[in-house]
Amino acid sequence: MSRMFNRINFTRVVGLLLVAIAAVSVSCSGVKMGNGAGNSAAGSAIRLQGSGASFPKPIYEKWVSEFGKIHPNISIDYQATGSGAGQKALVAKTADFGASDDPMSDDDMKAGGGGILHIPTVLGAVVLTYNLDGVKEPLKLSGETIADIYLGNIKKWNDERLKKDNPGVTLPDADILPVYRADSSGTSAVFTDFLSKTVPAWKEKVGMNKQPSWVTGVGVGAKGNDGVMGQVKQTPNSIGYVELTFAKANNLPAAQIKNKAGGFVDASLESVSAAAAATVASMPDDLRIQITDADGNGAYPIASYTYILVYKEQSDAVKGKALADFLWWAVHDGEKFAKDLHYGPLPADVVTKVEGKINSMTNGGKPLRQ
Amino acid sequence: MAQTGAIGDKIFRSVVLIAAASILVIVAAIFYMMAQNSIPTIERFGIGFLIGREWRPAQEQFGALPFIYGTVVSSLIALFLSVPISLGIAIFLVEQAPKRVARPIAFMVELLAAIPSVVYGLWGIFVLAPFIRNYLGPFLQDYLGWLPLFQGRLTGIGMLTGGIILALMVTPIVTAVVRDVLEAVPTTQREAALALGATKWETTRIVLGNAASGIAGAVVLGLGRAIGETMAVTMVIGNSPQISASLFEPANTIASLLAANFAEATDKIYLSALIEIGLVLFLVTFVVNALAKLLIMSVAGSANSAKHV
């Protein structure tokens, strides 16, 4: 009796398995057919693969789609894998271009065999967002007070130093909960770069890093901009740092930050551009620069460029030409999409410098554009 | 059915043998790959990797103890909360409930198992964390505040929240296995107990006694699930590598650390450290699952032999 039952069960299981296998193979072949048809229709399609920073993903996707309308034979795929992974993918040649929020280090450039160009594309900023009931006017923070909050030296919102910077604001007698990025991130790099420049104690204890060693017992970590935002939104009396584009898109409150000139400045496209303008003169030939704590009255102090990384010498003439054309289009026509997506467009002087870099791209020693 | 003869048997035998062997090969290959790739940190830190308390990738300092601690404690909280509830559900379904009640409840439990973990995580941030901060936390501090477990500030994010989320995720699995185990206990035992004048409660105790090793297997299976969970835990545990007596303080688990950092680990020694801590997790999970399998096999075996008597 039980044997009979087992056999029926066994047959049924095998039958189900066969159905499942059939379903999977049908769906797989369907995908394959779709791809094949797409390829043949596009003719001599050029495919470029990019990977790297997640911060510029929205504008890179916009560029890819707009550029694709003008050049239907060029398709570009951008994977937001993170700045570190972008640098790695470029050096490993698994991507035609990499993208990174912070410039590559000298060591990494050397390890990459040299000849890597840094093309700044747009400007971004990091804002401090907070959850304070009843506080309507934007909070005013300086490098010192931010550092002390994240070092655990300022524990309460009604701390004397916070009150001094925010006259007229009723700050609650509540514990501050700092929220930081638990994953490695260009946002953390820019944030800690600013604090390292302005606060010696920070430089000594934590320093500038994509994944700094946060002081144990102070605050909580969250994954990604959305993780930090979720935590801050849900936890009263918390503070966290996120990218400007992200804060704007989600209407988060953002603190005014004290800049080098001593004024408290809102994070905006204007103040970020002011920070870039103030540093154009000191931009090195390879265009690798940190623009935190910039001079100038209107400059927002936690700003940064984001870069596309390419090899100067391109091994494939057709792909190299397409890549150079894309970059040229991006820093000229592409910049007009920046503002709507809350990125700062490049200053004109920087565009001129970038033109020189793009024109220096070669294949077999021959310039790709011209 | 058509007869297949001796050749059919041989083919059948080799097919299943290959299937069985492949799983051994896969496990061995994973273990070998991980051990191979974690050699840099094993050579450099040795046992210090397992007992160190500082995790600072930027300074190339790797102490995995806070993560091991967080993994074990959050899993224990999960089991402490979910096992009694799971047992209750399973006993109700098998011993008490009429069929038309049992079916929908069993269905709901299975539904819980199908919810993606990121949804649990979101629910944790938006519902559970505020609930702990505003109601459960203050309540525990009022009545049990003298315990170091419940001292410290209340943010709603931390070890306890992570443990409760895990408990929710473990419950359907433990319930399902315990239910199967209870059903494997022969009805004749219940009839015998009832015939001797035992009450429902006394009968259930006898059934539970006979199913004990199977229930233990279910618990260990649940533990395996809790140990390996990533996304939901990352979202509510606070991701801070510290060892604190308070359950309200943020902590971190191995699986959560790996989920948050593996993609961006470009440094060779950092990658090696992450793979080594993954190896630790692999070994713990391996042992736990092996134990569960042995226990379940033993209860199934004894239940079968009871049937044939």
Given B59, B156, B264, which is nearest A84 (Cβ)?
A: B264
User: What residues in A contact B240, CB-CB < 8 Å?
Assistant: 214, 216-217, 219-221
Q: Do B126 and A234 touch (CB under 8 A)?
A: yes
Q: Which of A132, A147, A126 is nearest to A235 (CA)?
A: A132
Q: What ipTM score was computed for the predicted complex, to two decimals?
A: 0.81
d(CA B275, CA B280): 9
d(CA A193, CA A208): 5
* Residue in chain A nearest B246 by alpha carbon: A217
Domains of chain B with CATH codes: 65-307 (1.10.3720.10)
Which run of H or E residues covers position A169?
Answer: none
Given B57, B240, B259, which is nearest A220 (Cβ)?
A: B240
User: What residues in B contact A1, CB-CB < 8 Å?
Assistant: none
d(CA A155, CA B271): 35
Q: Do B266 and A84 touch (CB under 8 A)?
A: yes
Which run of H or E residues covers position B102?
Answer: helix B99-114
pLDDT tens by residue, B89-140? 999 999 988 989 998 998 888 888 889 988 999 999 999 999 999 999 999 9
* Identity at B225, one-letter amino acid code: R
* Identity at A254, one-letter amino acid code: A
Q: Which two tokens stand for residue A117?
A: 């160009």
Q: Do A184 and B264 touch (CB under 8 A)?
A: yes
Q: Do B264 and A207 touch (CB under 8 A)?
A: no
Coil, strand or helix at A13: helix
Q: Do B234 and A85 touch (CB under 8 A)?
A: no
d(CA B220, CA B118): 23
d(CA A302, CA A236): 25
List chain A pLDDT tens, one digit each, 370 residues: 444 444 445 455 455 555 555 444 444 443 333 333 333 334 478 999 999 988 899 999 999 999 999 999 999 999 988 888 888 889 989 999 999 988 888 888 888 888 899 999 999 999 999 999 888 889 999 999 999 999 999 999 999 999 999 998 999 999 999 999 998 888 999 999 999 999 999 999 999 988 898 998 899 999 888 889 989 998 999 999 999 988 888 888 999 999 999 999 999 999 999 999 999 988 999 999 999 999 988 999 999 999 999 999 999 899 999 999 999 999 999 999 999 998 999 999 999 999 999 999 998 888 888 6
Strands (E), chain B: 55-56, 61-62
Model pTM? 0.82
d(CA A195, CA A214): 13
C-alpha dihedral (A356, A361, A366, A367), degrees to nearest 10: -40
User: What residues in B contact A230, CB-CB < 8 Å?
Assistant: 122, 125-126, 235
What angle, rounded to 10 degrees, do the helices at B212-228 and B65-91 form?
140
Q: Do B125 and A231 touch (CB under 8 A)?
A: yes
d(CA B118, CA B286): 24
Given A175, A211, A217, which is nearest B242 (Cβ)?
A: A217
d(CA B218, CA B222): 6
Asked if residues A101 and A193 have their Cβ atoms less than 8 Å apart, the reply is no
